[in-house]
Chain A
Amino acid sequence: MQVDLDKEFTLPGSVTQGWMFLQNIPGVASCMPGAEITDEIDDSNYKGKVKAKIGPATMAFNGDIVIKNVDPEQKTLHMIGKGQDTKGTSSATMDLTAWIIDGEDGKSVLKGQAAVIVTGKAASLGGRMMTQVADQILNQFGKNFANNVAAMGDSEAADEAKEALAEQPKELNGLAFAWSVFIGWIKSLFNKKATS
């Protein structure tokens, strides 16, 4: 099951600030809901885990992250994450390219292209929701990323961002997430109709 995603998020800081944070791999990983870096092997190899709880099912993925390329000129990061759930019934890989460009009003924009491939039970059981789930995860990621960039300063806005980050759920969880997926799906139905 392959899902291709194309996203962009406006960041409340400059291109330099955005790029600075993008190179902080554990920081970037922590923007993924439920994800964390557990081991830093070297500059381009990390071990991490993702825990997701949807309804009654908990899936914990352990995996490796490999930084394929960091290009300061283009402010582009290319990484591949690969993991298997601890029960051995599913696996996922994500090939992600992210880069920072100038935005309006001194802000910047984080752009990302990701190909997510899921195999096993997660694909069999969750296949039809995969696009929406991945989309929501990335939306959450974008919010967290933006907050991290905002939190870089000392301003009031930075404090708010820090607070927001502290409050973010530590795992991909529950009803609120399911609800946002559902809403996303409903919206997508209407979007399709509007564009077709």
Chain B
Amino acid sequence: MGEAIDKKDREAALQGMGCSRKRKEDARFVQGTGRYTDDIKLPGMLHADMVRSPYAHARIKSINKDEALALPGVIAVLTAEDLKPLSLHWMPTLAGDVQAVLADEKVHFQYQEVAVVIAEDRYIAADAVDLVQVEYEELPPLIDPHKALAPDAPILREDLVGKMEGAHSVRKHDNHIFNWQAGEKEATARVFQHADVVVSQDMYYHRVHPCPLETCGSVASFDKVNGHLTVYLTSQAPHVVRTVVSMLSGIPESKVRIVSPDIGGGFGNKVGIYPGYVCAIVASIVLGVPVKWVEDRMENLSTTAFARDYHMTGEIAADKDGRIKALRVNVLADHGAFDACADPSKFPAGLMHICTGSYDVPVAHVNVDGVYTNKAPGGVAYRCSFRVTEAVYVIERTMDVLAQKLNIDKAEIRRRNFVRPEQFPYDTCLGWQLDSGDYHTALDKVLYAVDYRALRKEQEEKRARGELMGIGLVTFTEIVGAGPSRNCDILGVGMFDSAEIRVHPTGSVMARMGTITQGQGHQTTYAQIIASELGIASDDISIEEGDTDTAPYGLGTYGSRSTPVGGAATAVAARKIKAKAKKIAAHLLEVSENDLDWDVDRFKVKGVPGQEKTMKEIAWAAYNDVPEGMEPGLEAVDYYDPPNFTYPYGVYLCVVDIDKDTGETSVRRFYALDDCGTRINPMIIEGQIHGGLNEGFAVAMGQELPFDKQGNLLGNTLMDYFVPTFVETPHWETDYTVTPSPHHPIGAKGVAESPHVGSIPCFTSAIVDAFAHLGVTHMDMPHNAYRVWQQIQELGITE
């Protein structure tokens, strides 16, 4: 009994996996001592600001810098002409396209970078921007992607005219980027021809932006004496940035140091490489002094990576009982003026082919066409880097439409089509292998928790009284943890990740990873993994990321990949250390390794109480008393190439009441059950889910980047762009089941994206459900009061 208590106490003292350990990051954040890129001030530092285009599509006739250069304090004004000799006026994108750093003869979207002003302070730079005179000749803009491939459409990318061999496929028009397909087209079509029931639904997943609290920026500092370039950067992938900077600048990678300091939210917005970074770097190299560029809010919303902008059609062929026989998805993807997505090279539409969802779909076909328009580039951001949000939206919406057509309850139709627990690992018809899941249990748990039957009864009564109440349901499956290098790479670098752990003589630990935290709490959770693996208290473990001079190479943090990939590397590296520690323990205890048992924080000799060595003792011995032939020290590195993605899933249910006179929606209840496999820190998971639900709520209910016919962006200030505060945010109820990933070292799956991916179609499902009895099958987002009110007017259901 005493031993058991002792063991429990020792376990608790570690604050390892499963413990709601308080975030180690928060002490500095709540005291205002976080260090962000804009906090970095270097001696002699200059400031950059951008001259941007007021037009969406125009030819640049002339740029006159004279007045700007005459302003005291202005050091330089650079245009594409100035970058040309360095071949830096264009740069490669992560998607195999090129992107103008500064507009070269033409502007392709409103707010595009046309010139950069370098000045002694930020204010002078901003004043000088106004003094740069640019003469434009307006060209007809292409805003509607549906018109992009018309024979008479204005051609945007003159640099690509005639180049019909694209990075991903043959291009069928000068405004065409790629065609990408997955699955079996003919076989799917055959099933559709003979199906009992076919449903088809068009939907637009609008253009949004993650709008992180901190905008993007960089401080570049080139040391002319030793040729070293240091760049402080708001980057979710500093190592990849180092590789790209080295490739572009010709500076050896060993002399390029990228530091991602504290980051105020990324959500995919900080994966890309932006013209401002390049300009700051070029300016620093040319001038030999540090140069800072930090964008303002309008610049952030207007030009840095947006998300979505998918025009989709979902079609399901089913039998009369609602069992899916085939799925077909067609997408027109608006990528803006340059294809600057950050997808794995093989997948220009990301992981869109996860769109079979949680369902046993016999055959499917996905077709995606990407096109250019006069809008800012990007397309991969917002708590889901790889189009999983779009995939989940299209399948979940279309499932609702099928349920409605067959008059089967939307929970029941999902249950009938779920992949069953005994089918895992389940190979989807589009090529993924779902690792583990128990969807039925999750669904039942949620329906029971909310008393689904009572809700439906209440809805029936309300409908009879003419009131609008909607129940939304989503049963999503995510795909995260990119990814196995056999199908995932960025610029040819496999999407592995890494951890390097050093145990010091006194038993404390320093660990560095190739990922980078931006709010995820890595300093807290990685330490918990190591604590459980090595029996060293979390508080004695320091985690460091983001400095490419010290951290091992990794692909960074986005797409919920840190725990599935970086977390796995951490566990495996810790196990390498543990294996060595076991040898040292056997040596110290003069027994064979086979005679040792691991017990929380020590190795014990089997059956001999008291004969034991703690990790602390072993760590000390590693530096002075190792077995003969063994090198001293206790450290390990692991580069983890995951065998598969992980597939977290969840069941979300939402109840809304809609005011018939104003169109105002009140989210009465939102119940989110997530299964992310092994739970490392339940408190952090809860925080991640709350954050993701909030963002999902924002996207579904208000956020959008709308353009008018001239290509003016009409939503790029916080006057228009909806960021929910405490006032608007609904109350969230969370729940969980645990189905560990069978291939992950600790069974964890990743969680940050799930609440975003899952909640958005759930809100739409609820809003549409409020009108379903009136024949409405779909309403496009955002579901703001005005748009809902328009639906009410259209139906003519006001008194």
Distance in angstroms from A172 CB to nearest chain B CB is: 20
Tell me if A45 counts as interface (CB < 8 A to partner B).
Answer: no
- Known: A88-B51, A91-B54, A127-B714. Is A120-B708 also a contact (CB below 8 A)? no
B6 to nearest A CB, angstroms? 66
Measured CA separation A121–B719 after assembly (Å): 14
A120 touches B110 (CB 8 A): yes
- Contact residues of A: prevailing secondary structure: mixed
Q: Are B712 and A1 in contact (CB under 8 A)?
A: yes
B717 engages A120 (CB within 8 Å): no
In the complex, which residues 480-513 of chain B have their Cβ closer than 8 Å to any Cβ of chain A?
none
Given pairs A88-B130, A89-B54, A124-B712, 19 additional interface contacts (CB within 8 A): A1-B712, A2-B709, A88-B51, A88-B132, A88-B134, A90-B54, A91-B54, A91-B55, A119-B56, A119-B712, A120-B55, A120-B110, A124-B298, A124-B302, A124-B714, A124-B717, A125-B717, A127-B712, A127-B714
B residues near A (Cβ < 8 Å) are 51-52, 54-56, 110, 130, 132-134, 136, 138, 298, 302, 708-714, 716-717, 719
CA distance A121 to B716 in the complex (A): 10
Please determine whether A119 and B133 come into contact, CB atoms closer than 8 angstroms.
Answer: no
Cβ–Cβ contact A1 & B714, under 8 A: yes
Contact A87 B712 (CB under 8 A): no
Tell whether, in the assembled complex, residue B717 and residue A123 are in contact, meaning their CB atoms are under 8 Å apart.
no
Chain A residues near B55: list those with CB within 8 A: 91, 119-120
The 7 closest A-B pairs by CB, nearest first: A120-B54, A123-B712, A87-B130, A127-B714, A1-B708, A119-B710, A89-B54
CA distance A125 to B708 in the complex (A): 13
Q: B710 near A2 (CB under 8 angstroms)?
A: yes
**Set B134, B298, B708, B719: member contacting A123, Cβ < 8 A:** B708
Do A1 and B710 contact each other (CB < 8 Å), given the known contacts A88-B134, A124-B716, A124-B717?
yes
Question: Which residue of the partner chain B has the closest CB to A88?
Answer: B134
Residues of A within 8 A of B298 (CB): 124
- For residue A90, which residues in chain B have a CB less than 8 angstroms away from its CB? 54
Residues in chain B near residue A86, CB distance under 8 A = 130
Q: Give complex CA distance A121, B301 in Å.
A: 13
Interface size of A by CB at 8 A reads 18
Interface string of A76-102 (1 = CB under 8 A from B): 000000001011111100000000000
Check: A178 CB closer than 8 A to any chain B CB.
no
Chain B residues in 8 Å Cβ range of A124: 298, 302, 712-714, 716-717
Complex: how many Å from CA A125 to CA B720? Answer: 9
Q: CB < 8 Å: which of A84, A89, A91, A123 contacts B714?
A: A123
Which residues of chain A come closer than 8 Å to B714, judged between CB atoms?
A: 1, 123-124, 127
28 A-B pairs within 8 Å (CB atoms) are namely A1-B708, A1-B714, A2-B709, A84-B136, A87-B130, A88-B54, A88-B130, A88-B133, A89-B52, A90-B54, A91-B55, A119-B54, A119-B55, A119-B56, A119-B711, A120-B55, A120-B712, A123-B708, A123-B712, A123-B714, A124-B298, A124-B302, A124-B712, A124-B716, A124-B717, A125-B717, A127-B708, A127-B712
- A16, B133: Cα distance in complex, Å: 44
Q: Which of A90, A91, A119 has the most CB of B within 10 A?
A: A119
B54 proximity list for chain A (CB < 8 A) = 84, 88-91, 119-121
Closest to A117 in B: B710
Most chain A CB within a 10 A radius of its CB, from B54, B130, B132: B54
Task: List the A residue with the shortest CB-CB distance to B793.
Answer: A196
CB within 8 Å of B: which A32-73 residues: none
| Complex Cα spacing A130 to B711, Å | 16
**A residues near B712, Cβ cutoff 8 Å:** 1, 118-120, 123-124, 127
A89 — which chain B residues lie within 8 A by C-beta? 52, 54, 130
| Known contacts A88-B51, A91-B55; A123/B132 CB under 8 A | no
Question: Bound state CA distance, A118 and B709, in angstroms?
Answer: 11
Distance in Å: Cβ of A140 to nearest Cβ of chain B:
25
Q: How far is the CA of A84 from the CA of B712 in the complex (A)?
A: 15
Cα distance A88–B298 in the bound complex, in angstroms: 16
Q: How far is the CA of A91 from the CA of B138 in the complex (A)?
A: 10
Once bound together, how far apart are the Cα atoms of A1 and B134, in whole Å?
A: 21
**Bound form: Cα–Cα A1–B110 in Å:** 13
Nearest CB of B to A92, in Å = 10
Alpha-carbon distance between A58 and B302 when the two chains are bound, in angstroms: 22
A88 cross-chain contacts in B, Cβ below 8 A? 51, 54, 130, 132-134
Distance in Å: Cβ of B144 to nearest Cβ of chain A:
15
Residue numbers in B under 8 Å from A119 (CB-CB): 54-56, 110, 710-712
Nearest residue (CB) in B for A2 is B709
Q: Which residues of the other chain, A, contact B132 by a CB distance below 8 angstroms?
A: 88
Write the chain A residue with the least CB distance to B130.
Answer: A87
With both beta carbons as reference points, the residue of chain B lying nearest to A89 in the complex is identified as B54
CB-based nearest B residue for A121: B54
A125–B709 Cα distance when bound, in Å, is: 16
Bound complex: CA of A75 vs CA of B631, how far in Å?
100
Cα distance A123–B133 when bound, in Å? Answer: 20
A2 partner residues in chain B, CB cutoff 8 A: 708-710
The complex places the Cα of A47 from the Cα of B52 at a distance, in Å, of 25
